[in-house]
Structures are given as C-alpha cells and as structure tokens.
Structure 1
C-alpha cells in the first residue's frame, strides 16, 4: 500500500515552500524517515532516497556551514527524483539552494515549527498506520462505552440487527459487514470500514441505511481499536456454555491477540444488553475487579466454613 504526499499534507500541518501538481502525486512507500546527517558528509552507500528527508537543527547547521556552490551540489546528491518530500523542522529558515534543488527535482519542500523529534514521531506514526497491511474480516465493529467491540458470527445470526440496536442505545458504528483490520503497533489492532460502506449498515428485508443521516454524526466513527470480540452462535440444547466467565478465550488479528466472548443466541435473549454487560465486565476486569474471582473466593470460603 502507498500514499501520496498530498495525503500527508491533509493529515499534518505544514507551511508549503515549494510544490507542484506532479510533486504532490509522488508516492510514499515507506514509513521510515531519514535525517541525512551522515549522507551530507558524502557517505551514500546505504542511502535510501525514497524516504522523506527531514532536516533538524543539526542537519540545517551543517548545510549553513557549507559555502557557495558546494551547498547546492551537496543537496542535489541527497534529493533525487525519487525523494517524496523535504521537510525542515523548528521553523528554521530555508536556504535558497534547497529551494532550487526542490524545484529541479520536482520535490515538495515543507517547513514546520514543530521540534524535530516530535515531528518525526508524528510523521512515522501516520505513515505506519496508513502503510500497514490490511486484512478483511466479516463482522460489525462498534464503539461501546469507549471499547472497540467486533461482533462476529455466522451469516444471518443477527450481527447487523444487534449493531442497530446498540446504535439506538447510544453507541457508535465503525463498520458493518466488512471490517478492514490492521496492526497499529505491537499491542494494538485497529479496524475501519471499506470506503464504499462507510457509515452504512445493511438490514435484511429493509436494505441499506445511512446511519449518519438517520442518527446523526454522534452515531458513527471512522476507525477504532479492537479491544474485544464477541462471537454470536446459535444456542444448541445439550451444548456446554461458559456460565462462570473463567473460560477465557482469545482470537488473533494481524498478529495481535484479542479477548473473545462467545454468546449463545436464542429467542428471548436481548443480545445488545448482554453485549453491553460483557463490555462493562471487560472494563471492570481491566480495572482490577473480577466478579468470577470474587465468586470463587466466596465459594471457597463457604466450603471451608461448612467443612
């Protein structure tokens, strides 16, 4: 997956020093950002011109100390036609030679008042997210009490209907039917809708409805973490179901394990209320309150007392 320089400018605020229509269409293919200190000394053996080139105080000071034509030649070696953008941090003044090189290479030249390290982190985080490999899973992704919940189950089990009921109860829809999942970092997996399905939900017998139009902007989100998965399964008499909550299971997305709750579905069960309770219980466990452990302790104390 790639993004363009224009998409970077939409996300992060810069002062544009030089740009062109073709320069904005240049593709960024890696989240790595280069601060070309060693390269400016002439060592270019492992130089990667396809990265964004970020100039902080150290790099800028070195450029300022290179006299005359050497400054232009030095920058021309670093900035190639493959370079997507040059960024100067800390609001530092941009040398005329850098502007000339940007025009010669048709490369966007940007300036930011942000400190170099903070700017580097913001750019890398944005590119990591956008360039991450996406996988598609079937389900409904909701934000419930601030927890990202992916509702899954076999076709026709009632995932979208449950999602609609949760929306009516004040929770927010992220994606219906198709959820694009990607790893944000080592511990976090994110989900977002396919662009064609954004803010839409499909109900058998009714068709496609626009959640944002019917319920307002507060009923939708563009993306969310996946903190918990809820798997809806048809209730079958004779099957054994977890009644104490100590049978913890997980499922994996993009290399990240996510806790899973399995809920049997049958006539008369209010699935949306049960999911809300599961989410509140999940939050309580994260805060150190575990009702299952409390019950087991009370049971152990009762057995010890009666014995």
Structure 2
C-alpha cells in the first residue's frame, strides 16, 4: 500500500503546521476521517486513534466549555502515538492544551481555512485515491464509445495492432503493454499508463510510435474506468467457443469482477471490428437490450409452438 503522511496533506492542501512538526512523516493508513465529538465529551472507548482527526467549530466550541483539568485530559487522550495528525478547520485557533499535548506526543497539528464539511470531503477523496489498491496488468486499455476495454492475451497475439486499428477508427488509447489499475471508491477500477510509456504504442516490426503526435490529442486519454475485459487467444480447433453469448464470464481484478469476452484469433478475422462491436454490445446489455436472450426466447417460443402443433 502506498505511504501517505501529514507532509503530503500539507503539500497538497497548503495546510499550516502549528505544532508537532516531528510527526509529519507518520503514516496515514486509512482514508476514514474522524470528527471526535464523543471524545470531546470524554468517551474514548472506541476512539479511532489511527485516523486523521478533524476539529471544527462544533468540537472546539464544546471544548471551550470544559474545565481546565478536563481540557488537559481530553487533549492528552486525543494525541496518541498512533494518531497521524489533527486538522483544525475554518482557520480557528488551536487550544493551548492541544498544542502542548501534540508537542509531547509528536502529533502534527495542522490548520486549514476551508469549512469543516468541505475539508473532510476533499481530504477523504485524496486519501482514497492515494491509498487505493493498485496492480499492473500486461495488456492494452482503450476507450471505445465511452467503454473502458482492457485487451489481454499472450505476447504477440495482436493486442497493440488491434489498438492501433481502433485508434484509426476514432477511439482513444489509454495505455499499451502495461496498464496500472487502481481500485477507487469501493469497486471502481481506473486504469492509466505508466508515465514512461504514456501515449506510446509498440508495433512489432515498426517499433515505438507516439499516438498523440501521429493522430492528435483526441486519440489518447490519461485514464479511463475499466469495465470490460476482452481476452485474445490463438484459435484452438479443439476448443468450443461461445456462439450465443448467453453465459457471461467474469474475471477478478483486485477485489472487483468485470465481464470478460474471449475472442479467438486467426487470419482473416478483423479484430478491431469485433472488439468495437463487443464494446457496443456490452453497452446495449447495460441498457437492457440483450440480443442473445431475445434469440433464446424466440427459439423457445418456436419449439413450444411446434410441440403444440404435434399434439
């Protein structure tokens, strides 16, 4: 899992560090943010110490009503060795008891001028992106009619050549050879190209080509949500390939299952057209139009009608 620290938050959101500078490199391990209202009231039984703590006007207004001893006690319990940082919103002043406790425990105290709700939202989004699970898959990612299609298959099967043909047909390349996939917001898979090979496509016998230079900025995308896997494999005469498309196969990517189509490759088959139609057909299925199921229902109706005529 990538490492995120309070120092990254300071750089990304231009936060002001008030105290506890020694702890700005503590690791943040979860994207969840805690607003310690119950803790301000003295209930620390389920205190999520490993989360970033966010103090707004509500928490600090309640804290101001406590006695001096209670203030010291609450802030000492709030600042632990596990706490990655405490952020104060709206540009509010940090209580002296909090600054003292943070210096003793090495907990960074940060301040932002943003409202509490807005600050919680943008930091959560940032942490979810940075802490998301990632993987790298050997394949090609293409945006076809708004569908993020991941082409996979053995080396030399024709993935890059198919992607080149798709780009010529007006679709957009995201990544070739290696696709970095990040799982964001639960089950959303977002793919992008490694920085080193961004916009590049490798064609055997031709070499490396720059797709953006050759076809223009409209031929590439920096990232795309991955929703469909099309696996290319050499034609096997002993294998029975799906001819109706009723049974839908899936493939796991990180913690998410995405639909998978297996397309056999042999001379004479126009892979770009087949992949393009597969993406369009997948889009129709998501809209509730399934040609295979409609054909199956028609066939069942014809058989039932034939049986009735016989009797």
Q: TM-score, normalised by structure 1?
A: 0.81
> Mean alpha-carbon deviation: is it higher for 24-33 or for 53-62?
24-33
Two-structure CA RMSD over aligned residues (Å): 3.4
* Partner of residue 132, structure 1: 132
For residues 87-236 of structure 1, the aligned pairs below 5 Å read 87-89=87-89, 91=90, 93-95=92-94, 97=96, 100=99, 104=103, 105=106, 107=108, 109-116=110-117, 119-236=119-236
Larger Rg over CA atoms: 2
Q: Deviations over 1:134-193 (max 9, x none)?
A: 233221122222222111111110112212222233323232222233433444333333
2:5/2:28 contact within 8 Å kept: yes
Say if 2:18 and 2:99, in contact at 8 Å, map to a contact too: no
Q: Is the 8 A contact 2:160 2:176 kept in 1?
A: yes
Instruction: Check conservation: 2:149, 2:226, Cα contact below 8 A.
Output: yes
Query: In 1, distance between residues paired with 2:98 and 2:77?
Result: 14
Query: How far apart, CA to CA, are the structure 2 residues paired with 1:108 and 1:167?
Result: 50
- Would you say the 8 A contact 1:181–1:192 is kept in 2? yes
Structure 1: state its 5+ residue gaps.
Answer: none
Please state whether the residue corresponding to 1:38 is helix, strand or coil: helix
Aligned to 2:280: 280
Superposition pairs for residues 32-111 of structure 1, below 5 Å?
A: 32-42=32-42, 44=44, 47-66=47-66, 71=71, 74-75=74-75, 77-79=77-79, 83-89=83-89, 91=90, 93-95=92-94, 97=96, 100=99, 104=103, 105=106, 107=108, 109-111=110-112
Cα separation, partners in 2 of 1:206 and 1:79, compared to 1, 3 Å: farther
Greater alpha carbon shift after TM alignment, 124-133 vs 76-85: 76-85
Q: Report the Cα distance in structure 2 between the residues aligned to 1:170 and 1:9, rounded to whole angstroms.
A: 42
Quote the Cα distance in structure 1 between the aligned partners of 2:170 and 2:291.
Answer: 26
Contact 1:134–1:180 under 8 Å retained in 2: yes
What's the counterpart of residue 17 of structure 1?
16
Aligned-residue offset at 1:42:
4.7
Could you state the TM-score of these two structures normalised by the residue count of structure 2? Answer: 0.80
